[in-house]
Amino acid sequence: MIIAGCDVGSLTAKALIMNGRGDILAYDVMKVTPDPVQSAEKIMSHVLKTAELEFKNIDYCISTGYGREKIPFAQKNISEISCHGKGANWISPAIRTVIDIGGQDCKVIRVDKNGELIDFVMNDKCAAGTGRFLEGIAKTLKIELGQLGALSLEGQSPVDITSICTVFTQFDVMHLIVEGTDRADIATGVAKAMATRMHKLVRKVGIKKEVAITGGVAKNQGVLKYLENIIRGTIYQFTDIEPQIVGALGAALFAREEMEKK
Amino acid sequence: MFLGCDIGTGFTKAVLLNEVGIKATITIPTEADPRTAGKDAVEKILKTAGIKDSELKSSAATGWGKSYFPLKSKKENLINCLVAGAGHILPSCRTLLDIGAQQTLAIAINDRGQILEYRQNDRCAGGSGRFMDIISEALGTSLENMSDLAIDAEDKVLITNQCAVFAESEVITRVNDGKPVAAILAGIVDSIGRSLITLVKRISIQDDLMISGGLAKNRALVKFLEEHLGKSIQPARPDPQLVAALGAALLAKEDYK
């Protein structure tokens, strides 16, 4: 049995292929094109090729993410909230809270011992606390998004970021650069502001241990460290699997359940 | 001679007054460097007017970057400057709506030129001047051109995102969907207009209404506000961007007496 999950987000598309025993055969992440159908087909073909399979070999596929309703090769679509909870709980069954920071949204998801959704909160109205915030700051600092996390661990006297608005913070950062402020101090201040913003959302559903973080921002070690300081606890990162793939993994797990029902 | 300088987050504006009226004005981009912008504005306006700084009797600075102003001068509150400037331009002004790059203000003024109440938004770029800059950059059109396109638009594409960052993505998606740029711009004007209406309705609105700040030059936006408030709105003359700098110069003059 071959099952697949496909997660088309606002910034990246992810696909994962699994067999009936739950062995992951292949997965990958790529940047989206403006057309979600094209993005989905591209990432799935690529992953199928890695696993030496073809579209016709897929027994069941579930799509998730921002573009989930448009994916032609998926039999069903499920919200990314359920998929993230499911995926995270499968990787580590002790997980009850999942913080997922995507490109354009931020979610906190509470699941039961089976990975089924209990409650969630989501911000998709404001770029503050999302990947877009960090992307904007990295651009203003003229560094790669991937470098921001390491830099934010180096700040000795972090700046105080007073605005939550991405656009206004970018301007404040420009001004700090002009004033000759150390870039690491800026990056550290930004990571702390991001963690504070995320914590505001976390508080709305409450934290139940264990806590995991998924999505692109999970790769930012600075944000992770400051969020751990605020919640006074460890946040699991998935070291043996790409954090961005958890939604696609959850979709594949739901696809497996669908097959088992048959 | 009296000098007023408004170091804003978008532009730095300076107004030079003599005994009869405005002698010179200047507007330069601040580019997040209030120190340089303040210094350049002073040098340029003095050069334009052909005077030395020793001929300045007094000066005042206002706006986001006022503490960086190079001359020894009083630092004035932005709202006081706006009200002083507005009263000079239009003595019958009772409501002033000022749209800066990062701060939007709605101010109620009494018949003696005193502030009755005000509301501001400086927390979110939605509805700000910078919002329009971001969209204009994304579409590769000038701000003037945007106003003309929006005012002549036959259709309107609804922009659902209030957040400037998300609205920028939404605009790009709509362009890729093949929607006409004019219709998208009409949607953007609508979005900014709606947040301004929300702000201004939180104060008591009395005639006459005046609008200042960079976005006051956007005819499509002014038309939208007039239609939704059911009132006529005058953009500040001669240049809506200069109201606070003019007010600062007037306060400097008053202070000197």
* CA of A81 vs chain B CAs: smallest distance (Å): 20
Residue to mutate among B39, B66, B104, B124, with most A CBs inside 10 A, is B124
Give me the pLDDT at residue B147, please: 81
Please say if the pLDDT value at position A239 is more than 80. Answer: no
> Which CATH number is associated with domain B1-90+241-257?
3.30.420.40
Chain B residue with Cα closest to A127: B165
Give me the pLDDT at residue A104, please: 84
Give me the pLDDT at residue B177, please: 86
> Model pTM?
0.85
* CA of B149 vs chain A CAs: smallest distance (Å): 25
Summarize the confidence of residues A88-94 as an average pLDDT. 92
> Using the beta-carbon criterion (under 8 Å), do A168 and B125 form an inter-chain contact?
yes
Tokens, residue A242: 């790409």
Tokens, residue B93: 């002004």
Give me the pLDDT at residue B127, please: 87
Q: What residue spans define the domains of chain B?
A: 1-90+241-257, 92-235
> Which CATH number is associated with domain B92-235?
3.30.420.40
Q: Does A139 touch chain B (CB under 8 A)?
A: no
Q: Are A4 and A51 in contact (CB under 8 A)?
A: no
Name the band, by pLDDT with cuts 50, 70 and 90, for residue A55.
very high
Give me the pLDDT at residue B133, please: 92
Q: Does A118 touch chain B (CB under 8 A)?
A: no
> Which CATH number is associated with domain A94-237?
3.30.420.40
Task: Give the pLDDT means over successive 10-residue stretches in chain B (257 positions).
Answer: 97 95 96 97 96 94 97 96 97 97 96 95 91 90 80 89 93 89 92 94 96 94 96 96 98 91
**Can you state the percent helix, strand and coil of chain A, rounding each to 5?**
45, 20, 35
Q: Name which of A242, A216, A213, A215 is nearest A225 in CA terms.
A: A213
Between CA A89 and CA A67 the distance in angstroms is 24
Summarize the confidence of residues A239-249 as an average pLDDT. 87
Which residues of B fall within a CB distance of 8 Å from A104?
166, 169
Which residues of A fall within a CB distance of 8 Å from B125?
165-168
Of A34, A136, A171, the CB nearest to B32: A171
Place of tokens 């005994």: B19
Between CA A199 and CA A197 the distance in angstroms is 5
Q: Are A16 and A261 in contact (CB under 8 A)?
A: no
* CA of B60 vs chain A CAs: smallest distance (Å): 22
Give me the pLDDT at residue A103, please: 82
Q: B92-235: same fold as B1-90+241-257? A: yes
A66 Cβ contact partners less than 8 Å away, ≥ 6 residues apart: A8, A9, A10, A36, A80, A104
Whether domain A1-92+244-262 has CATH 3.30.420.40: yes
Q: Does A127 touch chain B (CB under 8 A)?
A: yes
Which residues of A fall within a CB distance of 8 Å from B164?
127, 165-167
B44 Cβ contact partners less than 8 Å away, ≥ 6 residues apart: B14, B26, B28
Which residues of A fall within a CB distance of 8 Å from B33?
175, 178
Which residues of A fall within a CB distance of 8 Å from B176?
34
Summarize the confidence of residues A123-130 as an average pLDDT. 91
Please say if the pLDDT value at position A109 is more than 80. Answer: yes
The span from the first CA to the last CA of chain B, in angstroms, equals: 12
Q: What residue spans define the domains of chain A?
A: 1-92+244-262, 94-237
Predicted confidence (pLDDT) per residue in A188-217, tens digit: 999 999 999 999 999 999 889 999 998 788
ipTM for the assembly: 0.92
Give me the pLDDT at residue B75, please: 97
Predicted confidence (pLDDT) per residue in A174-187, tens digit: 999 999 999 999 99
Give me the pLDDT at residue B233, please: 97
Please say if the pLDDT value at position A218 is more than 90. Answer: no
Between CA A229 and CA A36 the distance in angstroms is 38
Q: Is the dihedral of CA A195, B169, B223, B30 positive or negative?
A: positive
Chain B residue with Cα closest to A162: B123
